Amino acid sequence: MPVETQKQSAIIEELTLRPTDVSTIRLGISFAFTPGQSIAVTFPGDPKKRFYSISSSPTEGKFVEITLKAETGSAFVKTINSLKKGDTLEVEGPFASSLALPDPLTQTVAFIAAGTGVTPFRSMIKNLIDHKASTEFYLLHSVSKQYDLLFEGDFRDWAGQNPHFHYIPTITRDFDNNWKHETGRIGEALIRKHVPEHPCTYLLCGPNHFVNDMEKLLKDNLKIASDRIRREKW
């Protein structure tokens, strides 16, 4: 049965500021969640209820982490920067997601993300690793700048330790001479190069235009059936 959403006050256990106005907040919570789900958060002095995918896995402890990005110079950035460990935020959740993995998981999974769309995939990938999933799973992550590769350290470590997980980051615009990995947008050639042709479920997450383009490419060029594509976009 679906888990009912709950409202509670959650204490900030950790707060990590990242480059380009991206922050990760760890909140102590008492409700259960599954990878791919989201929560709604109300920040002090901000009347808007904001929804965020959970980036932590339930295997990591009794907390949720959210990773959020706010525009430079905005009032919301000032709100985030004023937060500190021990502060309390109002939280509601968890909310269901269209990105749920097949159950049981019997075939390859390809996670395809742009920018902060990788957030729910961190939760799902960590959960697969901790539960020793025997299927192959791939993460293709596209960003414009090298320092936009969220969770790069985690993904590289996990790919190095788990033979079933394959991490393929690609940068479209700003990278230095030391970058020896993929460049450019995610397209047919990149997918064919890294993701096997045998049956695969594709999970897409990112801005509207990215997800729409990826879905069209998968259907038209790679002839992937609609029931093997799951998406979340904004």
Q: Rounded distance, CA 56 to CA 32, Å?
A: 12
For residue range 187-197, list pLDDT tens digits in order: 999 999 999 88
Q: Which part of the chain is CATH 2.40.30.10?
A: 6-95
d(CA 68, CA 7) in angstroms, rounded, equals 20
- 28-52 per-residue burial string, b: 16 or more CB within 10 A, e: under 16: bbebebbbbbbbbbebeeeeeeeeb
Confidence (pLDDT) at 178: 87
Q: At what angle do helices 152-161 and 119-130 cross, to 10 degrees?
A: 30
What's the Rg (C-alpha) of the chain? 18
Burial tier of 216 (Cβ tally within 10 Å: 0-12, 13-18, 19+): exposed
Cα distance between the two ends of the chain: 27
Residues of the chain with CATH 3.40.50.80: 108-233
| Residue 198: band (very low, low, confident or very high) from pLDDT cuts 50, 70, 90 | confident
Residue-wise pLDDT for 17-36, tens only, equals 765 678 899 999 988 999 99
pLDDT per position as a tens digit, 71-121: 777 888 888 889 999 999 999 999 988 898 888 898 999 999 999 999 999
Rounded Cα distance, 215 and 124, in Å = 20
Q: What is the percent of the chain where pLDDT is above 70?
A: 97
Residue 64 has a CB neighbour count (10 Å cut-off) of 29
162-184 mean pLDDT: 92
pLDDT at 126: 98
Task: Give this prediction's pTM.
Answer: 0.93
pLDDT at 138 over 50: yes
Q: How far is CA 107 from the centre of its chain?
A: 20
Q: What is the mean pLDDT of residues 8-20?
A: 86
Q: Is 104 left (phi over 0), alpha (psi -120 to 50) or beta?
A: beta
Mean pLDDT within 163-180:
92
Q: In what order do the strands lie in the sheet with 38-42?
A: 49-53, 38-42, 88-95, 6-18, 22-28, 63-69
| pLDDT for 1 beyond 80 | no
User: 107 near 199, Cβ under 8 Å?
Assistant: yes
Convert 131-159 into a string of H (helix), E (strand) and C (coil). Answer: CCCCCCEEEEEEEEEHHHCCCHHHHHHHH
CATH superfamily of 6-95: Translation factors (2.40.30.10)
Q: What is the pLDDT of residue 19?
A: 56
Tell how many helices (H) and how many strands (E) occur in the chain: 5, 12
Residue 3 has pLDDT above 70, yes or no: no
Topology at the third CATH level for domain 108-233:
Rossmann fold (3.40.50)
Q: What percent of the chain stands above pLDDT 90?
A: 72
Task: Report pLDDT for 174.
Answer: 81
Q: Pick 71 or 10 by higher pLDDT.
A: 10
Q: Return the DSSP state at 168.
A: E
Query: What confidence score (pLDDT) does residue 84 get?
Result: 94
pLDDT for 39: 96
Q: 188 CB contacts (<8 Å, ≥6 apart)? A: 217, 221, 222
* Model pLDDT for residues 43-64, shown as the tens digit of each residue: 998 888 999 999 999 999 999 9
C-alpha to C-alpha distance for 61 and 32, rounded to whole angstroms: 10
- The whole-chain average pLDDT of the chain stands at 92
Is 219 a residue whose pLDDT tops 80? yes
